[in-house]
Amino acid sequence: MPDLIALRDLALSTARRVAPELARRTGGLLDTATKSSSTDLVTDADLWSEQKIAELLHEARPNDSIQCEEGTAVTGTSDVRWVVDPIDGTTNFVYGHPGFSVSIGAELDGEPAVGVILDPLLGDEFAAALGHGATRNGQPIRVSQTTDLSAALLATGFGYQPERRRRQAEGLVEILPRVRDIRRMGGAALDMASVACGRVDAFFEKGLAPWDIAAGKVLIVEAGGRVCDLSGGPTTGDFVAAAPKGLMSELLSLLRSVDAASV
């Protein structure tokens, strides 16, 4: 059984190694390309960050598996797999806009066990290990205790394909009048960290990848929250996060009342 605290601290020290360079390069001259659409960006900084993170993790734990967003993959022999987003919120990074982060999660036997999300611009460090709670800059954090959906501040994000974005906007027409307000910051990992520390009351988004949610799931659960899909089952690419009582059931009911393709 790996020491989860040691894994969490390794993830945090690794994120700290790349964060200063990302903060220095944000909004500057970057070699930028697109992936699935014109809004799905990747930069030379993403690739540098991913390579550096993978190297540091592999040096520290050579038997672990590693999966990264931009394609770096290592097949290991241990029961630990690292799931890495080297820059979550690349569009924000390109524009020098706050809301991007480094996200490093670790799974144990396929289950999320460690999560670290670091904000290079604002300096916030979110960290959690299964059974050991969640912290922001070393201080314990808890999810919001808001129970009334009409008083809830929600975070969400949009997909990359134009037709999906249109349907998501249509869904928000139904959701927005029922809540306090909606925030769209452009980085799912930091949105999840915001749920964990109570900076927003809930988060929902469809079509997320494993590297988008690996770290955030642990943070939210260890901060007392619940994560699930739109049906209330285990998360896949469809992700909802909130406090487990009151707000979650009301939010799921609202999201299900909206065409599933729209949210």
Q: Quote the distance between the C-alpha of residue 100 and its chain's center.
A: 10
Query: Looking at residue 262, what is its pLDDT?
Result: 52
* Among 98, 114, 133, 151, CA closest to 10: 114
Query: Looking at residue 46, what is its pLDDT?
Result: 92
How far apart (Å, rounded) are the C-alpha atoms in residues 39 and 160? 6
106, pLDDT greater than 60: yes
- How do residues 116-138 score in pLDDT, each as one tens digit? 999 999 999 999 999 999 999 99
Q: Which of 63-67, 244-248, 259-263 has the highest mean pLDDT?
A: 63-67
Domain 149-262 carries which CATH code? 3.40.190.80
- Cα dist from 117 to 81, 220, 254, whole Å: 17, 12, 29
- Candidate list 46, 64, 70, 85, residue with the active-site label: 85
- Candidate list 43, 66, 70, 87, residue with the active-site label: 87
The yes-or-no answer on residue 88 being catalytic is yes
Higher pLDDT among residues 157 and 104, named by residue: 104
**pLDDT band for position 263 (50/70/90)?**
very low
* Among 29, 184, 49, 38, CA closest to 94: 29
**pTM over the 0.85 mark:** yes
- The helix/strand/coil state of 179 is coil
Q: Which residue has the tokens 């979110």?
A: 126
- Candidate list 107, 191, 212, 250, residue with the active-site label: 212
The yes-or-no answer on residue 87 being catalytic is yes
The residues with which 82 forms a beta bridge, in sequence order, are: 66, 106
The yes-or-no answer on residue 90 being catalytic is yes
Mean pLDDT in residue range 137-162: 93
- The helix/strand/coil state of 48 is helix
- Residue pair 112/217 in contact (Cβ under 8 Å)? The answer is yes
Extents of the domains making up the chain: 4-140, 149-262
- Candidate list 46, 50, 64, 69, residue with the active-site label: 69
How far apart (Å, rounded) are the C-alpha atoms in residues 259 and 263? 7
Instruction: Give the residue ranges of DSSP H helices in the chain.
Output: 4-25, 44-60, 90-95, 162-175, 188-196, 210-222, 247-257
Query: Looking at residue 163, what is its pLDDT?
Result: 83
How far apart (Å, rounded) are the C-alpha atoms in residues 240 and 258? 14
Among 153-157, 168-172, 184-188, the least confident range: 168-172
- Percent of the chain at pLDDT > 70 equals 98
Topology given in CATH for the domain delimited by 4-140: Fructose-1,6-Bisphosphatase; Chain A, domain 1 (3.30.540)
- How do residues 58-82 score in pLDDT, each as one tens digit? 999 999 999 999 889 999 999 999 9
Same fold, 4-140 and 149-262: no
The yes-or-no answer on residue 212 being catalytic is yes
The yes-or-no answer on residue 44 being catalytic is no
- Candidate list 14, 26, 43, 90, residue with the active-site label: 90
Q: What values do phi and psi take at 146, rounded to 5?
A: -60, 135
203, pLDDT greater than 90: yes
Other CB atoms closer than 10 Å to residue 163's CB: what's the count?
A: 9
- Residue pair 63/76 in contact (Cβ under 8 Å)? The answer is yes
* Among 109, 98, 116, 99, CA closest to 211: 116
* Among 24, 13, 23, CA closest to 52: 13
- Residue pair 102/117 in contact (Cβ under 8 Å)? The answer is yes
- How do residues 44-64 score in pLDDT, each as one tens digit? 999 999 999 999 999 999 999
Residue type for 6, please?
Answer: A
Other CB atoms closer than 10 Å to residue 257's CB: what's the count?
A: 10
